[in-house]
Amino acid sequence: MLDEALRRDRLVVLSALLLLTALAWGYVVWLAARMSAAPAMPGMPAMGMQGMGMLTSAFAPWTTVHFLFMFGMWTVMMVGMMTPSAAPMVLIYAQVARRSAALGQAFAPAGWFVAGYLLAWTGFAAVAALAQWGLETLTLTTPMMSIASRRFGAAVLMLAGAYQWLPIKQSCLSQCRAPLSFVQQHGGFQPRALGSLRLGFRHGMYCIGCCWAFMLLLFVGGVMNLLWIAALMMFALLERVIPAGRSFSRLAGLIAVTAGVWMLASPG
C-alpha cells in the first residue's frame, strides 16, 4: 500500500515538474518567435505597457517596465532550464515526505522546497537582467541580445571554461550531485514550510555556484537562441546525473576555453 502511494506521489511530483518546465519553455519559444519577427515589424510601438515593443532591431532606453519585462523573461527562462536539474532532489523529498506522513510525522510539502529553489534562481535572473542592461550600455551586446564583440565573447568563453576546473565549482557540483548528502549536511528534511523553503533556497544557491559561469554563455550564443538554451539545460542536467559528471564538467570547460582561444585568434 505504501509502495503504491510512493509511486503515485512520484508520478504526481514528476508531472508537476514537467508541466512547470513545459509552461516555461512554451513562453520562451513564443518570445523567441516574437523576437525573430520583430525586425520585420517596423510599426511596432516603443517600449511601454505593451511590453513587446522592446523587441526591435535598435537599442531603446531601459525603463522600469523594460527592466521588469527582461527580469520576467530571465526568470521564466531559468525556471525552464533549471527545474529538470532539481527533479532528482524533489523526487527524493517527496518520497521522504510520504514515508514520514505514513509514520504520523509532520513534514512540509515538497512544493516549499521547489519554491525555495526557484527563489534562488529568481535572484539570479535579477542579476542577469542587470548584467544585460550593463552590457547594452557598454554596447557589448546587440539589441537582439547576443555578443557584439568577438574579444568579449572569447573572454566569456574562456572564463566559463576555466571556472569548470576551479575547486569552488567542483565543491558546488558535489552538493548538487548527492541530494541525500546535501540534506544531511544542512539540517535534514524540514517539518516546517519555512525550513523547507530555506533548504530549497540553499540548494538553489549551490546550483547557481555550479552553473553561473556557463549561464554567461547565453550571451555568447544568443539569449533567445532556443538550441543554445536547450544545450545548456542538458549540460546542467547531465553533469549532475551521469556517473562521470565531474569529468564531463571539466571536459566541457576545456572545450569552452579552446573555443574562446579560437574565437580570439580567428580573423573577422
Cell of 143: 539589441
Mean pLDDT by 10 residues, the chain (268 residues): 58 86 94 71 39 54 88 95 90 77 72 93 96 88 78 93 95 89 83 90 95 91 88 92 91 95 83
Task: Name residues whose C-beta falls within 8 Å of residue 1's C-beta, 6 or more positions apart in sequence.
Answer: none
Bridge partner list, 147: 141
Model pLDDT, residue 188: 79
Model pLDDT, residue 59: 62
Q: What is residue 221's three-state secondary structure?
A: helix
Bridge partner list, 229: none
Model pLDDT, residue 91: 86
Q: What is residue 164's three-state secondary structure?
A: coil
Cell of 66: 523594460
d(CA 188, CA 120): 19
Alpha-carbon torsion, ordered 41, 45, 49, 51, to 10 deg = 30
Cell of 108: 512540509
Model pLDDT, residue 141: 82
Q: What residue type is assigned to position 114 of the chain?
A: V
Find the radius of gyration of the CA atoms of the chain.
Answer: 20
d(CA 185, CA 182): 5
State the chain's maximal CA–CA distance in angstroms.
68
* Whole-number Cα distances in Å, 246 to 79, 91, 139, 161, 235: 24, 23, 36, 13, 12
| DSSP code for 148 | -
Tell me the per-residue pLDDT of 144-162, one tens digit each, with 9 for 90 and over: 677 888 889 999 999 999 9
Q: What is residue 1's three-state secondary structure?
A: coil
Bridge partner list, 141: 147
Helices 167-177 and 193-215 cross at an angle (nearest 10°) of: 140
d(CA 187, CA 65): 40
Q: What residue type is assigned to position 55 of the chain?
A: L
Model pLDDT, residue 121: 96
Within 10 angstroms of residue 17's Cβ, the number of other Cβ atoms is 18
Model pLDDT, residue 55: 54
* Residue boundaries of the structural domains of the chain: 2-265
Identify whether the C-beta of residue 153 lies closer than 8 Å to the C-beta of residue 263: yes
Cell of 159: 572564463
Cell of 211: 552553473
Tell me the per-residue pLDDT of 206-253, one tens digit each, with 9 for 90 and over: 999 999 999 999 988 888 889 999 999 999 999 999 998 899 999 999
Within 10 angstroms of residue 164's Cβ, the number of other Cβ atoms is 24
